[in-house]
Structure 1
Amino acid sequence: MSDLTAPPTPHPGDLSEPLRRALGDRYLTYALSTIMHRALPDARDGLKPVHRRILYAMRELRLSSTGGFRKSAKISGDVMGNYHPHGDAAIYDAMARLAQDFNVRYPLVDGQGNFGNIDGDNPAASRYTEARMTAVAEAMLEGLNENAVDFRENYDGTLTEPVVLPAQFPNLLANGSSGIAVGMATNIPPHNIAELCDACIHLIKTPDARDDTLLNYVPGPDFPTGGVIVEPPENIATAYRTGKGGFRLRCRWEVEELGRGAWQIVVTEIPYQVQKSKLIEKIAELIQTKKIPILADVRDESADDVRMIIEPRSKNVDPEVLMGMLYRNSDLEVRFSLNMNVLIDGVTPQVCSLKEVLRAFLDHRREVLQRRSTHRMEKIDHRLEVLEGFIIAFLNLDRVIDIIRYDEDPKAALMREAWGREHVRARDEADYVSPGPGSGELSEVQTDAILNMRLRSLRRLEELELLREQSELKAERAGLEDLLASEVLQWDSITAQLRETRKQFGKDWHGGARRTSFAEAGVVEDVPLEAMIDREPITVVCSQMGWIRAMTGHIDLNRELKFKDGDGPRFIFHAETTDRLLIFGSNGRFYTLSAANLPGGRGMGEPLRLMVDLPNEVQIVDLFIHKPGRRLLVASSAGDGFVVPEDDVLAQTRGGKQVLNVRGETRALICRPVSGDAVATVGENRKVLVFDLEELPEMGRGKGVRLQKFKDGGLSDATTFSRAEGLSWLDPAGRTRTQSDLGEWTGKRAGTGRMAPRGFPRDNKFN
């Protein structure tokens, strides 16, 4: 038995480790890969690996901003095959986004063909579109040939790719970024390049500048779709100081006069990353549901630019009021969240302030400057070595020619030769300036250059040109030595570069001017219906089967009206179009309906259940006009109830608002306005109980408390009244009877009560 239960003997090659550690190590590896290689951008060039590889592949294909276009399929294929071993669809989507001027403030890809639009339509397939780099992308890549950044092997070790791009401007802030990693996310809005350059120059001059001071140069985001930022300045300052916050962004609109007092609103810019087609669908839904009664129509007249028309229902409507309601109920106002979580050194994720991001860029630019200067010095040293060999050859031309012509191994002979003054050709000293001592051995580099020299380079003018080039290179090298030795000169050079970038992509550039402006949000107050709807008298009619309509004017309530076969009147009362109606269902929910939204009285009306989400099994307990400040007595068939402020039962949605909790066979039964100081209840057993109103609690929602106790049956009716005036009811003959002496029926709440007075209605109803 023990042999059957013994664990198997592990194989010598197997590795064993606890499951917790195995899962932890593997998940950590996945998390780090997602954070570093997919979701978070590098603070230095503001790019994720896929974007960096797309630009580098386009550079390798020589797709300059002034050259020809290539098929997008070719570009995405090269990126996938050489640098980014992921799906070509993902690569093409990333490249297409870099070409969308409504998504990217400074597009890095110049697209030809259908690359999508602001309505949310997808780009055409990669085989149909073509692309090349923009001038902005070329500014990101400048210096790659000069050892400006480190290179690493690609995924299969056959090629190399840059770890980061040189980036002439802070692209992280200029174009923004967004991404979701494991346990962290980033969301950075785009900004204006000219303003970022000014902020960088100020930070160079004042390294300990405060974040708030930088806001004098970068007041806020600059979205490619324009719009108006209405976030308070103190909130913007806090967001840039902490790296987290948000910006309220509104559309840009104007009032267009149509003559005779009529007007319409023209929206010319919509908020960033809002799809215009879905925005119009949302506004059309608001019109259909009559959630904004003063809104009549919306239509799209856009061509290359945005032109969205919003029509009011009446020319007497205030445009500010209409737009205020649209801000609340649609994406004409959005909130863009800021979360500057970036790879600050290409490795470590960190939530950075505006100053920290700019400082990371400037430190990167300084390193690029140093590396490019060092690379240039190496090139100059190599050229100076070659030039020195050329000059020696010119000074000893006859001997050089003799060696090349007659020696079996001219290269070795030239390198063995000790070049002295005796080999110098005779010449007029006044006509020639000696470059130096002219003695010593030639290096291999110099020898190869001499042997590869063309015969026509032996003319006298070429010799003078060599001397001039040598002098210029020595002067340039001295300048580079001074630059590398002085931090001040380095920052001066970076400042000059930033000024040049600001001039190139500033306000005079075709897309450089700021597009997003700033304004105060103002206070959008709750607008009463009276201010939005013409106040007109109506008569509300609701049938027993729940069909509701609004007759024009205040008609005679006893007038005979038409109903569907098998149907008849249930509720009929006078109202006005500015009123709000409350419907109390047997499920204990209150529903709110605007009288202005009721169908006209020409037909039979419409089912109330289609206007609010009233379930088919739920009966309508009461329908009445809402009066602010009033209180209501609500009670269930089980005899539980309470008092609720009428203002608290207003529902904002079609689904209504739950107020009286009922379950099982119990149903909501009573909804009466509260008046007086006493409560009277009557059960199905015809027992009446009177108690003080103050014994009932005032609640917003709940089951309530016991009003009256019943041995059998339940509650039949309840009402409130004033003890001084007595309890009244209608007798079977239709006459009002009042019982002033109520001592026999008075008791404490939850009592059983006494049999009803003589003459009390047989239906056990007070009214």
Structure 2
Amino acid sequence: MPDDLIGAIQETHLKDALSERYLAYALSTIMSRSLPDVRDGLKPVHRRLIYAMHQLKLDPTAGFKKCARVVGDVMGKYHPHGDASIYDAMVRMAQEFAARYPQVEGQGNFGNVDGDNPAAMRYTEARLTEVAQAMLVGIDEDAVDFRPTYDGEEQEPVVLPGAFPNLLANGAAGIAVGMATSIPPHNAGEVCAAAIHLIRNPQATTADLLKHMPGPDFPTGGVLVEDAAAIQAAYETGRGGFRIRARWEVEKGKHGTWQVIVTEIPYQVQKSKLIEQVAQLMEEKKLPLLGDIRDESSDTIRLVLEPKTRGVEPDVLMETVFRATALETRFPLNMNVLDKTRTPRVMGLPEVLRHWLDHRHEVLVRRSNHRLAAIDRRIEILDGYLLVYLNLDEVIRIIREEEQPKPRLMERFSLTDVQAEAILNMRLRSLRKLEEMEIRKEHKSLTKERKDLQALLKDESLRWTRISEEIEGIGKKFGAGPLGTRRTELGAAPTAVEVNFEALVEREAITVILSEKGWIRAVKGSVADPGELKFKEGDKLKLLLPCQTTDRLTLLATNGKAFTLKAGELPRGRGDGQPVRLLAELSNEDDVTALFLAAEGGRYLIASNTGRGFIVPGGELGAERRTGKQILNLKPGEETVLCVPCEGDHVAVIGENRKLLVFPLDQVPEMARGSGVILQRYKDGGLADAKVFKLADGLSWRLGDRVRTETDLRPWLAERGTAGRMPPNGFPRTPRFG
């Protein structure tokens, strides 16, 4: 460091320093870690793993080596990151349920579809597969550029030659800074067929390519149930998604019984977590048609789903399971990759294939030039050898007698420096007649090969024909047999199966119990003695609501929102239940105003503590969403205090100031949502209670164990919105109608 900089402090704004450093980190993550290269479909860690194993000569025909040895080489020479991340990447490259075409052949415990972890790297061994070997063809023939490693001591390839269409065949997934990639695996034979079609028809559309490559092909199989138009749109834009369902079949039993056997599950779904999810939903009674689930898997997947009753249709049962569980998943498509210039871009299917083909063309040209240069060097040497055989005695004399034979040979026979050096290095046994014949044969063969290569480099159509042949060979090699056969079935988009869940719930009488602190539960039958109910310390009973398990309950909160609760889904048992806030989206400041069974065709008077209210039809109180439905619009400081049924022709309203007012019901408007009108005015306090009744029957209220009725209500009859008068003698002090 220069002396004038030692101890110097340079001030800069934190914003500038932070943005500069974060931008550098973001670019490093995007370009050197998370996004694959469109040419070979590999991230740097995968490319370095394959190249390091190639350097260790771990070819498919070689023996296995410890994974710890491979990870150590990758970490020490090429990839300056932790060994755990390198080994995790290596494991995924070897897992047959994670990689459609594994690039690493593992020996030992490499995990399973249940989600169990692989053994430590010191216990497992690995070598490359033929897929990885195809990715490396031409690596030593100047097919790609090399760059220095992070410490400058080694060289690593910028990209692999990539004879195998790895990006689409194996897919990719990664999260960078501000962008991500998600590419599903495909069938290599189909990808090669689409690429050949694109070579022959450079203007081919996405629809044309999808005739050869109709969709993803996941290693775990399953059924693709995405609509054909959505698939085409996804491949055209490079963004979209695919719905995958488990493959299942019905297995008949005795006496008309049956069960569903699941043999393939969606990609990247862990079997053990799937079973836990289904069991949890069964416990919460969210899968009413499913009776039991068992795992009878061995080396193949076999999940047994038993219906609750044999009268259920298998299609209906599976539709309910698909809707609620990971037996149906959606795999996103986001073909965000690095192009040749290391620029991240979202590409459509034709563009991805075109970039791969252009890379293969460049590799072919570079390999041909490299081979042509090697042939020229060899032919030059062979020409020198042939001169030796034509003038053997003279060559021997010069070598024996001259002090400087090399320049004399070059002068006498017009040889190049390379030819003269090769002649001087010849062994005596090479002078036999048989060797001359071999040299002439090799010379003739190389001359023909040079002529073919020169013709290839001059004619672009010949090069594309050669590339087509190579891709066709890859397609035949990896697109057939157990590895290449398509595993994911191309199914049609499923038709909607209407499932009436209410009809599936067993109808029985229950009593809903709501506590003052908002804990809700249900018990079977009726509650004989509410005093025997137990609650959490400091809590007590707020209300009991007898109903049926098939009923839908309406909950009105103090924030003016209405919620719908399914009685059959309320927590059961001897516990305290669960907070109602888990069933309806309520804040800590909100409370339950009313919980009731809304009558069909009924109407309800809803009001706030300031005395504003209106009549709402019962049908408008339904709200299937967990967030509820706003019914009464409230001002700051207001809250909903009552909701009573409208069964009568007059309304009695009493305030906290003990002023009673009676007015006709038709003075209150009916609406689905609003702020309401003033029912009663207050100088102090607010609304205490309200009741809708028939004027001819009189106004009744409960006083202790007795019920009192006042028939002469003329002193309290007035227009809506007035203050009212003190109630008749004998009215409760609370003041409520009871």
Q: Same fold (TM over 0.5)?
A: yes
Tell me the equivalent position of 1:90.
85
Q: Name the SS for the 1:729 alignment partner.
A: strand
Among 489, 493, 499, the alignment partner of 1:527 is 499
For 2:471, give the aligned amino acid.
Answer: L
Q: Which one of 734, 753, 759 corresponds to residue 724 of structure 2?
A: 753
Is 1:64 matched up with 2:64?
Answer: no
CA, structure 1 residues 346+758, in 2 after alignment: closer, same or farther (shift >3 Å)?
same
Deviation at 1:136, TM superposition (A): 0.4
SS in structure 2 at match of 1:374: helix
Residue aligning to 1:486: 459
What does residue range 105-124 of structure 1 map to in structure 2 within 5 Å? Answer: 105-124=100-119
Given that 1:640 and 1:704 are in contact with CA atoms closer than 8 Å, whether structure 2 keeps it comes out as yes
Distance 1:529 1:678, change over 3 A: farther
Report Cα offsets for 1:449-502 as digits up to 9, x if no partner: 333333333332322222222112111111111111111101100000110000
Instruction: Note the C-alpha offset of 1:727.
Output: 5.8
Contact 2:520 2:579 in 1 (8 A): no
Q: What SS is found at the alignment partner of 2:680?
A: coil
Instruction: Give the aligned partner of residue 645 of structure 2.
Output: 673
**Are 1:43 and 2:38 counterparts?**
yes
**Paired residue for 1:380?**
375
User: In the TM superposition, what whole-angstrom CA distance separates every residue of 1:182-211 from its partner, at most 9, and x where no partner exists?
Assistant: 322222111111111111111111111122
Q: Among 155, 159, 164, which residue is 2:159 paired with?
A: 164
Q: Which runs of 5+ in 2 are unaligned?
A: none
Is the Cα contact below 8 Å between 2:604 and 2:646 reproduced in 1?
yes
Change (3 A) 1:566 1:197: closer
Shift of 1:51: 1.2
1:270 maps to a residue whose letter is I
Residue number in structure 1 paired with 2:226: 231
Q: Deviations over 1:88-112 (max 9, x none)?
A: 2221122122112222211111111
Moved more, 539-548 or 386-395: 539-548
Change (3 A) 1:631 1:343: farther
Q: Secondary structure at the match of 2:285?
A: coil
Output the TM-score relative to the length of structure 1.
0.84
Choose from 542, 548, 553 the match for 1:581: 553
8 Å Cα contact 1:550-1:598 kept in structure 2: no
- Distance in 2 (CA, whole Å) between partners of 1:103 and 1:542 is 49
Q: SS at 2:661's partner residue?
A: strand
Q: How many positions carry a matched residue from both structures?
A: 723
State the SS of the aligned residue for 1:90: helix
1:219 counterpart SS class: coil
The 3-state SS of whatever aligns with 1:266 is strand
**Identity level (%):** 50
More displaced stretch, 387-396 vs 197-206 = 387-396
Q: Structure 1, unaligned stretches of length 5 or more?
A: 1-9, 419-440
Residues 526-576 of structure 1 deviation map (CA, whole Å, 9 limit, x = unaligned): 63333312345x253759888865556xx8x9xx66862899999777644
Letter in 2 for 1:505: F
Task: Check if 1:353 corresponds to 2:348.
Answer: yes
Shift of 1:664: 11
Letter in 2 for 1:581: L
SS at match of 1:139: helix
Pairing partner for 1:277 from 260, 272, 283? 272
Tell me which residue corresponds to 2:437: 464
Match of 2:128 in 1: 133
Structure 1 distance, partners of 2:390, 2:118, is 66
Sort the Cα spacing of 1:62 and 1:753 in 2 relative to 1 into closer, same or farther, 3 A. Answer: same
2:449 matched residue in structure 1:
476
3-state secondary structure, aligned to 1:196: helix
Shift in CA distance, 319/77, structure 1 to aligned 2, threshold 3 Å: same
Contact 1:632–1:646, Cα closer than 8 Å, also in 2: yes
Opposite residue 447 of structure 1, the aligned amino acid is A
Partner in structure 2 of residue 504 of structure 1: 477
Query: Is the 2:620–2:672 Cα contact (8 Å) retained in structure 1?
Result: no
Query: Is residue 296–residue 311 contact of structure 1 (8 Å, CA) maintained in 2?
Result: yes
- How far off is 1:586 after superposition? 6.8
Query: Per-residue CA shift, 1:38-71, capped at 9, x if unaligned?
Result: 1221111111111111111000000011211111
Asked if 1:298 is matched to 2:306, the reply is no
Deviates more, 1:93-102 or 1:257-266: 257-266
Cα separation, 2, equivalents of 1:112 and 1:582: 60
For the aligned residue pairs, the C-alpha RMSD in angstroms reads 3.8
Work out which of the residue numbers 644, 661, 677 in structure 2 matches 1:688.
661
Contact kept? 1:747, 1:753, Cα under 8 Å: no
Match of 1:3 in 2: none
Does residue 186 in structure 1 map to residue 157 in structure 2?
Answer: no
Q: 1:155 is matched with which residue?
A: 150
Give deviations 1:350-380, integer Å, cap 9, x for gaps. Answer: 1111111111011110010111111111111
State the distance in 1 between where 2:166 and 2:148 align: 24
**Contact 1:591 1:612 survives alignment (8 Å):** no
In structure 2, give the amino acid aligned to 1:457.
S
The 2-side partners of 1:660 and 1:184 are apart by 43
Contact 2:194 2:213 in 1 (8 A): yes
| Residue pairs, 1:324-723, within 5 angstroms | 324-418=319-413, 441-506=414-479, 508-524=480-496, 527-536=499-508, 538=509, 540=511, 542=513, 550-551=523-524, 564=532, 575-582=547-554, 593-596=565-568, 606-609=575-578, 613=582, 622-627=594-599, 630-644=602-616, 646=618, 649=621, 669-675=641-647, 679-684=651-656, 685=658, 687-693=660-666, 695-696=668-669, 698-699=671-672, 706-720=678-692
Q: Distance in 1 between matches of 2:87 and 2:350?
A: 34
Indicate if the aligned counterparts of 1:539 and 1:572 stay in contact, CA closer than 8 A.
Answer: no
Aligned pair partner of 1:261 in 248, 256, 259: 256
Amino acid aligned to 2:217: D
- The code of the aligned residue for 2:597 comes to I
Is the contact made by 1:745 and 1:754 (CA closer than 8 Å) also made in structure 2? no
Matched position secondary structure for 2:109: coil
User: CA offsets per residue over residues 685-704 of structure 1, 9 Å max, x none?
Assistant: 1502324456346455x876
- Match for 2:662: what amino acid? L
TM-aligned CA deviation for residue 339 of structure 1: 1.5
| 1:321 CA drift (Å) | 3.0
Q: TM-score, normalization: structure 2?
A: 0.87
Q: Is the Cα–Cα contact under 8 Å of residues 650 and 662 in structure 2 kept in the other structure?
A: no
Q: Which moved more, 1:387-396 or 1:476-485?
A: 387-396
Task: Name the CA shift for 1:377/1:189 in 2 (closer, same or farther; >3 Å).
Answer: same
| Contact 2:660/2:716 (<8 A) preserved | no
Q: Distance in 2 between matches of 1:544 and 1:304?
A: 51
TM-aligned CA distance change 1:627 to 1:408, over 3 Å: farther
Q: Write out per-residue CA displacement over residues 101-142 of structure 1, whole angstroms, 9 at most, x where no aligned residue.
A: 222211111111222222333322211211111110001000
Shift of 1:166: 0.6
Q: Distance in 2 between matches of 1:201 and 1:619?
A: 67
2:218 match: secondary structure:
coil
